[in-house]
Structure 1
Amino acid sequence: MDHENMHSVSVAGVIIDDQGRALLIQRRDNGHWEAPGGILERDEDIVSGLLREVREETGLEVEPVALTGVYKNMPRGIVALVFRCRAVGGQLTENDESRAFRWANADQVRELASEAFAVRVLDAMSMHHAPAIRQHDGTHLLNVTHSYL
């Protein structure tokens, strides 16, 4: 297998509260603000991985509502599937991966998160019918004019 051409798949859950705000976590490893999520394990289905990652990073149990975007980090070969979710149980709990939580409106998301991660949350907060499909370099969006199918 050509390891240079391999990809990994990650999932993220954008949890929206009843005020329309999204939950951001502050990652313990780099201090960045993002939606909770992570890399799928090889033997794990997409929804199970989403539920596991969100629970591990937040302490919340969620229900996925809709796939809101597919994003590719071009240099690293990571494809991320992002879902709008609603919390159905649990409570926010700091852990080894998350050191803080914040419920943020769209303007606050833009201020806190890098462009490549803010857009995932903003896409999930909007009510587009088709999932967004975007590429980025880890920080900035690429080919912005071709955002939707």
Structure 2
Amino acid sequence: MGRRDFEDDPEAPAANSLVPAASVVVVDGRGRILLQRRSDNGMWALPGGAMNLGESLADCAVRETREETGLDVEITGIVGTYSDPRHVFAYDDGEVRQEFSICLLARPVSGAIAVSEESTDVRWFDPGDVDDLPMVNNIRRRVDDWRSGRMPAIR
């Protein structure tokens, strides 16, 4: 299913859905960040997705990371909370979702990198090598918030 991101766009469709989600900054022992190239928009992104009923935010983050990258992770902290109503995702099925994501920090504990139906590429990047990658602004903001090392962001 295709997805289009709108941020601060007066032409954006009105949101008709709000779904709690987790995104994950996975950092390995060498300080590299794990990114996936999304199959729905071709952009580099953090692993993550919508919470299911009956699971915690941490469980969601671990599940989504495993599903999208092949890695099992341990949650070690929080990067920030992202809930900007001017950032919506329009899906081909008519859903227009307002952003509501908590970005967690994690480290890999097992597994092997693998692409999924949601990704075309998954790889590790040195933090300084992500600036030129095609990435939606809000994902870039999460990466920048992590790189800044400040207190968790609330946006």
Q: Does 1:71 align with 2:71?
A: no
CA separation of 1:124 and 1:62: change in aligned 2, threshold 3 A = same
Unaligned runs of 5+ in 2: 1-14, 89-97
Matched letter for residue 68 of structure 1: V
CA–CA distance in structure 2, aligned partners of residues 119 and 104 of structure 1: 16
CA separation of 1:13 and 1:70: change in aligned 2, threshold 3 A = same
Number of aligned residues: 130
Matched letter for residue 12 of structure 1: S
In the TM superposition, residue 42 of structure 1 has moved relative to its aligned partner by: 2.7
TM-score by length of 2: 0.76
Unaligned runs of 5+ in 1: 135-149
CA–CA distance in structure 2, aligned partners of residues 40 and 78 of structure 1: 13
CA–CA distance in structure 2, aligned partners of residues 105 and 114 of structure 1: 19
* Match of residue 71 from structure 2: 60
Higher RCO (CA-CA < 8 Å; seq separation 6+): 2
Residues 17-55 of structure 1, C-alpha deviations (whole Å, 9 max, x = no match):
222221110011111100100011133211111111000
In the TM superposition, residue 56 of structure 1 has moved relative to its aligned partner by: 0.3
CA RMSD of aligned residues (A): 1.7
* Match of residue 7 from structure 1: 18
Matched letter for residue 105 of structure 1: D
Answer yes or no: is the 8 Å Cα contact 1:109–1:122 preserved in 2: no
In the TM superposition, residue 5 of structure 1 has moved relative to its aligned partner by: 7.5
TM-score by length of 1: 0.79
In the TM superposition, residue 122 of structure 1 has moved relative to its aligned partner by: 2.4
* Match of residue 121 from structure 1: 143
Residues 62-121 of structure 1, C-alpha deviations (whole Å, 9 max, x = no match):
001101111124243221100111000000111111110232233322211232111212
Specify the SS of the correspondent of 2:145: helix
* Match of residue 145 from structure 1: none
